[in-house]
Homo-oligomer: A and B are copies of this chain.
Amino acid sequence: MFKPFHNHEGPEKRTPQARFFIDPEYFKVEMNRWFANRWVNVGRAEEIPNPGDFILRTVAGESVLITRGQDGTIRSFFNICTHRGTVLVENVKGTAKSCQFSCPYHAWSFDCQGKLLGAPGMKEVDGFREQDWGLRAIGCETWAGFIFVNLDRTPALLADSLADMPSKFVNWPMAEMQSAACIEYDVKANWKLIIQNYSECLHCPSVHPALARLSPPTSGENDPPNSCYLGGRMSLNDGVTSMTVSGSTERPLIATLDETQLRHVYYYALLPNLLLSLHPDYVMTHRLEPLAHDRTRIFCEWLFETNTISKPDFQTEDAVAFWDMTNKQDWHVSELTQKGLSSRGYRPGPYSNREQLLYDLDQILIPKD
C-alpha cells in the first residue's frame, strides 16, 4: 500500500517524501505501528501515589484508565464497561471510592484490579459468569518513575524497549524526582517533526539565539543510532551551570552526577513519544500525544529532586521560562515545516552532516515494505 518513502538513489542523504508527514492514511498506519503496539509513555507514577488513585490518558486515540490497586501495583485498562461499552470513568484524574469504579449507565462495578464486582440484573441470565467480564487490561510497566502502557495484546517486555537507557542515566535519581511544573502545547505539526526538531541544533543560531549563548550549537556529540532511542549531549559554556534564563541557578546540582555530566545537557528521544532532557539540576520531559497527521499535543514537565523542591526558596521559573520560550520557537518552525511539506513544490532536500540523527530516525521509522 505504501511505496518506499525514499526515491533518491544518489549518495547524499535526503529528507523523506512528503506523505510521511502529511498523509492522514499513513498517520493511521503509523499510529497502529508505533503507538498501538509499543510501549508509550503516559505520565509519572507519582501522579497516582495511593491505591484507588487514577488518571485517564489517550494513547493512539484510545482512552486508557491507569490506576493503582490495593496491592500498590499500577495497572491500566480500556476505559469502557464490558456490558454495553459505555465510558466507565469521566474525570481525567481522581481517586476511586473504596477502590471501585461503577459504570454510570447500569451500575456494573469493578475493583482497581479490573475484577467485576457486581452486575445488576445479570444473575438470572443463563450462562453468565462474572469472571468473564472484568475490565480489559492493557500492558503497563514503569521505569525511573515513568509509566508506560502497551496496547499490544501480547506486549514484549518494557526493558527491551529501553535498551541501555537505565544504566546510561543511573546517576539521575529520576524514580524519586517529582514534577514541579507542566505546560501543555497544541502544535500543528506531525509528531515526527517534533522529534526531528529535537534531534538537531543546526537551527539553534537562527531559532534560539538565547540557547546558543549558553550551549554551543556545534558542541553536539551523538550516540550511534539505535532502534529504541536517539540522542546525544551538548556542552555548557564556561560559567554556565544550568539551562536557565540567567545561565546559572540557585538550586543545588544533582549530587550523584559526575564531572562530565555536570558540564553537559543530555538530550534523548525514547521512541515513540518521550523526549528526555537531563540537566545538572533538573530533568525536563516532553511527552508527545499525536492527535492527527498535522497535530500533536505536547506535555512538557520539569522534574526536580524532592529535597530541592522542599527548600523554602525553591522556584521553577528560571528553567520554565527559558524552555517555554525555546519550545515555542521550536513549535513555530515545526508548524511552518508541516505547512510547507504539503506544497506541490516540495522535493526531498539534502541533509547536512549535523542532521545525521534525522536521517537515522528516518531509517527507523520509514516502513521497509
Binding site for B on A (CB under 8 A): 10-12, 15, 18, 36, 60-63, 77-88, 90, 102, 104-107, 120-122, 124-128, 133, 136, 138, 151, 202-203, 205-207, 332-333, 336-337, 339-347, 349-354
A36 to B345, CA, bound (A): 12
A60 to B345, CA, bound (A): 12
A358 to B33, CA, bound (A): 37
Would B352 and A62 count as touching, CB distance under 8 A?
no
Residues in B neighbouring A106, C-beta threshold 8 A: 202-203, 206
So how many copies of this chain end up in the complex? 3
With A15-B84, A82-B349, A120-B352 given, name 19 new contacts (CB 8 A): A12-B126, A61-B342, A62-B345, A63-B340, A79-B345, A80-B341, A83-B349, A84-B337, A85-B337, A85-B349, A104-B207, A104-B336, A105-B207, A107-B206, A120-B202, A122-B350, A122-B352, A125-B350, A125-B352
Mostly, the A contact residues are: loop
Would B125 and A86 count as touching, CB distance under 8 A?
no
Given A127-B12, A333-B105, verify A133-B344 contact (CB < 8 Å).
no
Would A206 and B127 count as touching, CB distance under 8 A?
no
Residues in B neighbouring A351, C-beta threshold 8 A: 125
Would B336 and A62 count as touching, CB distance under 8 A?
no
- Chain B residue with the shortest CB-CB distance to A103: B206
